[in-house]
Amino acid sequence: MTTILWIKALHIAFMVAWFAGIFYLPRLFVYHAESDSKEVQEQLKIMERRLLFFITPFAILTLVFGLALIFLMGSQWFIHSGWLHIKLVLVAALYVYHGYCFKLLADFKNDKNTRSGKFYRVFNELPVLVLFAVIILAILKPVFW
């Protein structure tokens, strides 16, 4: 039982670190999209790249410890945890979101961004909504089937 608790603690810790960055990166995109200053844009390019590459290992470790938890809990637990299946779909969407950030980073790096600050403001809110749903599922563990 102690092993599971350590893995759960590490899973949560890396998830929090990942989300700190995934909340801030699109905010940098907002500033970048709305800036007319080349100097500011160049500084934001550096900040965006460093942040995305800094948080990517946290995303990977969140996945590793999450999968370790599923493995340790066993296949029967997994089969009967409908809430977890929904959580995993939402988490997969977050990894797609994270991957899409690399595409957006490349657009900014190459001065090819065509999206407005408003787009990035909305984009910035999406992981918050997913996080709320994931937390509710993980804590309440509702029975769906």
Residue 1 has pLDDT above 70, yes or no: no
Per-residue pLDDT, averaged over 121-136, amounts to 97
Greatest extent of the chain over all pairs of C-alpha atoms, in Å: 57
* Phi, then psi, of 81 in degrees rounded to 5: -105, 75
Specify the pLDDT at position 144: 73
Residue 145 has pLDDT above 70, yes or no: no
Per-residue pLDDT, averaged over 138-144, amounts to 91
Structure tokens belonging to residue 117:
């600050």
Give this prediction's pTM. 0.94
Model confidence pLDDT, tens digit, residues 59-76 = 999 999 999 999 999 999
Model confidence pLDDT, tens digit, residues 93-126 = 999 999 999 999 999 999 999 999 999 999 999 9
Evaluated on CA atoms 49, 42, 33, 121, the torsion sign reads: positive
Structure tokens belonging to residue 118:
């408003």
Residue 137 has pLDDT above 80, yes or no: yes
Model confidence pLDDT, tens digit, residues 9-41 = 999 999 999 999 999 999 999 999 999 999 999
